[in-house]
Chains A and B, each alone.
Chain A
């Protein structure tokens, strides 16, 4: 396997291994956070290793906590989940599923991976800058982000590179699907997985550039002293800020969420695609309502550009705007329900084989359901106001992304591993991995709804111990910390499984799940 390869399979695998590494890193950051939230008054075990600048005597500094929070979000969303879902699965499988010799622009494909890696390294290196990594949240709201330490500049540069990488990847995927389909393969005979990648790529193509624009403006604010996002008369630490002012912090929020809401669908659409493939294979049935699902995916992609300001109900944008975004938000829940219902109905009358990929795919359905339903109160301005920025929000989107998207990605890894490596992953270790992850993730995320409803805010380095709302919740924090440790241990089953299986001979049959889709027909 050449390092600088233009082969879609090699690029896909490079994306896969790199993004799995980032997934682990992002998880390790949150492990520190969960421990800190459970026992804020005690030193962290092995906390001395974090350095005296971050955790003197093992006691985590709030400044370092902020870095962990910002970088956990950034790494998980931009460096782990999306590159795994699109870069790895998309690159590896799309050409095989549509009968194309490779991606349409192989060299661009290779470039896209290396720019992504560079972006990731810039992000990681920022931990070693004076003042550490970005510490203004993964949303990088100004004015805080503009006044922040130099880690924020690295974050913006990293983001800029990532957007270039995702631009190359999305152009490549769209052109490959539309142009390189095998002769006679019409759009309505494409596997649903390919459709999900197509819609996702359009979102990446069109939603990311506004964030790139926003990153340029924020870089100007930080480096050239402009005031795009700095209002007039800003006073910091008792001193009037010496800038021209006249900017708008809200402008950043608009530009950011114009990307970041479609981004949510970038996180979930490939997951739907993978789950659809795994479910049809393990129920021995075609997809129920394929056309409806394709239509729903397209509609969802379109609508995702019209809902962004439901993240901004608290900015005082007025009831008319709120009403508009409430309505669009309620509308966009319809296609999600269509897809989820179709997937559930696809099980009906099937003879389900409960293999490891099937378990992950089946668990995805109720877990995504919880994530989706708990999102509704957040989409309505009246109920969002008390819930905004509380742990309720964190619980909601983690149900979507962790036992939701991540489970789908695990399902995909177990499902296509024999296609990729010629070896079947061990079922028993896989089951331990599945049940362990399912239980521990629920123990981590379920209490967040109660914490949020009680009014506990996110992003507090002591878990809000100084607020009355935290009374009685110490136990839940400790439960979450232990569950997070257990979740980490359970991932060892997966890692060991990967290592052990890769050392075995290639004994898997050509089509171990008796799948009928094209990527399993004919060995290569």
Chain B
């Protein structure tokens, strides 16, 4: 069967499952991501409850920077979800603005790391900071991943056509929602509690 038939249901939903291949694949990916972060958050909880003393996040982390970053990331999602209603071709400025905000997030996160570094804080300082750097670092990598996905959509928009681009935008918007959710969990678990 050389040069096989095109693969069906890539973007259009299959009747009996109700979803397209991309949508199903995306949710499976998110399921594995939930297990990844779930394991890390569980580790955090286990290490924290068994620790004799544990720093209060509000006091040792930069709550102001963290709060602003939370707002920034929420706005990334707001802008990305607006692309759904945007008219043909009009999603471009929204995606660009969202990506710029994501860059702001990364820059502020970098500034926060630098401040902590200057204060002499290292991952090896204690288990709280070990968890902080691991979780926020992995989350930042996910933000970078989202940025790359945004650029990939814009770059490919003209060649793959409107329907495919819409499908990709929807998937990547959901991805940003997941990235936001992880950040909120980090923010509450590490900065606030």
A and B interact physically = yes
A residues whose Cβ falls under 8 Å from a Cβ of B: 7, 100-102, 104-106, 167, 170-172, 174-175, 178-180, 205-210, 212-214, 216-217, 220, 224-228, 243-244, 246-248, 251, 254-255, 258, 524
The 9 A-B residue pairs whose C-beta atoms are closest, nearest first, are A225-B124, A226-B130, A210-B39, A213-B39, A209-B36, A209-B35, A101-B4, A524-B1, A101-B5
**Helix, strand, loop or mixed for chain A's interface?**
helix
- A178-B17, A227-B130, A244-B124 known; A104+B25 contact, CB < 8 A: yes
Contact of B47 among A179, A247, A524 (CB under 8 A): A247
B15-36 interface with A by 8 A CB criterion: 17, 19-21, 24-25, 28-29, 31-33, 35-36
Nearest-neighbour CB distance to chain B for A370, whole angstroms, equals 33
Most buried by B among A105, A205, A244: A244
> A227–B29 contact, CB under 8 A?
no
Given contact pairs A208-B35, A226-B134, A227-B124, enumerate 13 new A-B contacts (beta carbons under 8 Å).
A106-B7, A171-B29, A175-B25, A179-B19, A179-B20, A180-B8, A206-B32, A206-B35, A209-B36, A220-B123, A244-B124, A244-B125, A251-B47
Decide if B39 touches A174 in the complex (CB within 8 Å): no
Shortest Cβ distance from A226 into B: residue: B130
Give, as a whole number of angstroms, the nearest-CB distance from A507 to chain B.
21
Judged by a CB distance under 8 angstroms, whether B161 is at the interface is no
* Contact assessment for B39 and A209 in the assembled complex, using a CB-CB cutoff below 8 Å: yes
Candidates B6, B29, B134; contact of A101 at CB < 8 Å: B6
Q: Are B123 and A171 in contact (CB under 8 A)?
A: no
Distance from B166 Cβ to chain A, minimum over Cβ atoms (Å): 19
B123 in complex: contacting residue of A170, A210, A212, A226, CB < 8 Å: A226
Query: For residue B126, which residues in chain A have a CB less than 8 angstroms away from its CB?
Result: 227, 244, 246
Chain A residues in 8 Å Cβ range of B46: 248, 251, 254
Report if B93 contacts A (CB, 8 A): no
B: interface residue count bin: 35 or more
- Give the Cβ gap from A142 to chain B, nearest Cβ, in Å: 13
- B residues near A (Cβ < 8 Å) are 1, 4-10, 14, 17, 19-21, 24-25, 28-29, 31-33, 35-40, 43, 46-47, 50-52, 122-127, 130-131, 133-134, 138
The residues of A that contact B50 with a CB separation of less than 8 Å are 248
Are the CB atoms of B21 and A179 closer together than 8 Å?
yes
Q: Note all chain B residues with C-beta closer than 8 A to A217.
A: 40, 43, 134
What's the Cα separation between A7 and B20 when bound, in Å? 21
Given contacts A210-B38, A244-B127, A246-B127, contact A179 B28 (CB under 8 A): no
Please name 6 pairs of A and B residues whose Cβ atoms are closer than 8 Å in the assembled complex, sorted by A: A206-B35, A224-B133, A228-B127, A244-B130, A246-B52, A524-B1
Interchain CB contact under 8 A, A171 and B39: no
Q: Is A243's CB under 8 angstroms from B124's CB?
A: yes
Verify A210–B36 contact, CB threshold 8 A: yes
**A258-B39 in contact given A226-B130, A248-B46 (Cβ < 8 Å):** yes
Tell me whether A205 and B31 are in contact (CB under 8 A).
Answer: yes
Contact check, B134 vs A216: say whether CB atoms are below 8 A apart: yes
Q: Which residues of B contact A7 (CB under 8 A)?
A: 4
Q: A residues within 8 A CB of B24? A: 174-175, 178-179
Q: Which residues of A contact B1 (CB under 8 A)?
A: 101, 524
A105 / chain B contacts, CB cutoff of 8 Å: 21, 25
Contacts of B36 in A (CB 8 A): 209-210, 212-213
The reply to whether A214 and B39 contact each other, CB–CB distance below 8 Å, is yes
Chain A residues, CB < 8 A from B5: 101
Q: A224 contacts which chain B residues (CB < 8 A)?
A: 122-124, 130, 133
